[in-house]
Amino acid sequence: MLLVTADEQLAAAADRQVEVEPPTDPAASAVQDPVIVLANLTELVTATLCAEGVAPRRAALVARVLIDADARGHFSHGVGLLPMYVDRIRAGGIDPVADPQWVSEMGVVKVLDAQGGFGQVAAELAAETVAEDATMSGIAAVGVRGSNHIGMLAAYRGSFTRHGVVGLVFNVSGPSVAASGAGRATLGNDAVCLVAPLEGSRPFIVDFATGIGGRGKAARAFRPGRRPRRHAGAVAWERGSTDGCAARPGRSRSPATAPVAQTVHCRRDPGAWRGLGDLPRREAVP
């Protein structure tokens, strides 16, 4: 069972605690992440996907969505997912040449089958279609099935801002969040994104998941050679070590082998930060 809390008395009941706080070692504080030119990173990610049999235009779309997340500071959904994508292509989990197919196109409610291909390809088509339909009908909905991971939901804001409509993007995932008092995951860590165009300004965007702690955030905060920083917020995963491997997206442990209880103990309200909004000082890739 995982527990995220700022209550010291409650945390004391756990068999293991991890405190997330700023590094105290001045040398560690001086270490800075490398600065990478987005254009160069885009070229590298695109080339990597093309080497796996992905068409250049499709590879560029996937690269744009991943790098957009990194540019906005949402690193758990960025280029760090590329190895997982490559693994899934090689294992047959992602069909790199699959084209989405419309299952239903009746009126303003449509259904799109991603055919087991890249989630970004289907999500981009769905966002553009629903935004265009909404401009003509006032409201529209598109459901996507048979899809893979689509990345950061806010990456599809362009369709809504171009057409001048408010967009809501949702996703459905498998059980990964334990309800209060539960001994195993029963709820999906489903994400919600709102995109609202503003005249003469950048759009208002809110993008968040419904769980308090994010596995992707944990993987980044506790990756080898790094000490958790305060901005990591409340993060927890199924393994009692700080090697980061158990927090890798797409991996989970059986409840039968998971520890009885673990705590990531923060010195602030763990619900004070989750997801992202529009970041004025970090403009995303157009």
CA dist 176 and 182 (Å) reads 12
The 10s digit of each residue's pLDDT in 181-223 is: 777 888 888 899 999 999 888 999 999 887 766 666 666 666 6
- For the range 250-258, what are the long-range contacts, defined as Cβ-Cβ under 8 Å and sequence gap of 24 or more? 250/84, 250/88, 250/149, 252/176, 252/185, 255/183, 255/184, 255/185, 258/1
Read off the pTM: 0.70
Which burial class, exposed, middle or buried, applies to 92 when counting CB atoms under 10 A from its CB (0-12, 13-18, 19+)? exposed
Neighbouring CB atoms inside 10 A of 65's CB total 26
Helix-helix angle 119-137:56-71, to 10 degrees: 80
Q: Is the pLDDT of residue 27 over 80?
A: no
Q: Is the pLDDT of residue 3 over 90?
A: no
Tokens of 66: 């991943």
Q: Which residues contact 42 (CB under 8 A, 6 or more apart)?
A: 60, 63, 64, 67, 285
> 131 or 175: whose pLDDT is higher?
131
DSSP label at residue 151: -
3-class SS of residue 70: helix
Mean pLDDT of the chain: 76
CA dist 254 and 174 (Å) reads 14
Tokens of 145: 């099935």
The pLDDT, as a whole number, for residue 36 is 83
Q: What is the mean pLDDT of residues 3-23?
A: 60
The pLDDT, as a whole number, for residue 231 is 40
Q: Is the pLDDT of residue 101 over 60?
A: yes
The fraction of the chain above a pLDDT of 70, given in percent, is 62
DSSP label at residue 73: T
> 169 or 265: whose pLDDT is higher?
169
* Signed CA dihedral, 212, 88, 149, 36: sign only: positive
Phi, psi for residue 26 in degrees, rounded to 5: -55, -35
